[in-house]
Chain A
């Protein structure tokens, strides 16, 4: 099954670091999530990475078996 991964404060909002979801288009998967969480995930400062590579647009992205889609809020390291 594909996985969604939530980094930083998104983990707290989601209440979990990872969520296993049914395969399918990302838009459809997000529509099944809690609405408040989906709004945070779609925030303009949140970036997305599919299997470790940044993607600029989720349009047309379909998650398949074993895929990992990470939601990355602004970093604050060092």
Chain B
């Protein structure tokens, strides 16, 4: 029921259209798209993953999300590799009979993707590449679900 993928490319419009068509009987579908922010002097962003753990961890997150809310369907697509401002990074879609379950499930999945999934991010600016340290806010976001 969950569709969980780690990709080098992501077409949000096509993914959302396909997901919506697949769950035509759901009353509510919430989609979240994370993209590379423009500005701040960032020229490129690279997300690295670890094969033995990243996708298995995302799959486990999808399983837990579905245990917590009654969903008709769940989609998680995360990119890895080099991206540029405006590029999509991550797409989460949750389909449910009622909207609140879809909102909460997408929110929960995103908070955990941000702070618990096995990704490492670095940014390129005029001065070169720099690894990004985790933000305290990401861990505060997780506390909402405990």
Contacts and interface: CB of A to CB of B under 8 A. Distances in A.
A9 B132 CA distance: 9
Contacts of B99: none
A67 to B, nearest CB: 12
Q: Across the A-B interface, give the 9 residue pairs with the lowest CB-CB distance, nearest first.
A: A77-B119, A52-B52, A8-B120, A78-B114, A9-B131, A76-B132, A76-B121, A74-B134, A78-B113
Chain B interface helix/strand/loop/mixed: mixed
A78 B89 contact: yes
Interface of B: 34, 47-48, 50, 52-53, 56, 78, 89-90, 110, 113-122, 131-135
Nearest to B121: A76
B13 to A, nearest CB: 20
Given A78-B113, A78-B119, A68 B131 contact: no
Given A49-B50, A70-B53, A78-B110, 14 more contacts: A7-B120, A8-B48, A9-B120, A11-B48, A12-B131, A51-B52, A75-B117, A75-B119, A76-B121, A76-B132, A76-B135, A77-B47, A78-B34, A78-B89
B52 A76 contact: no
Nearest to B51: A52
Given A12-B131, A52-B56, A76 B119 contact: yes
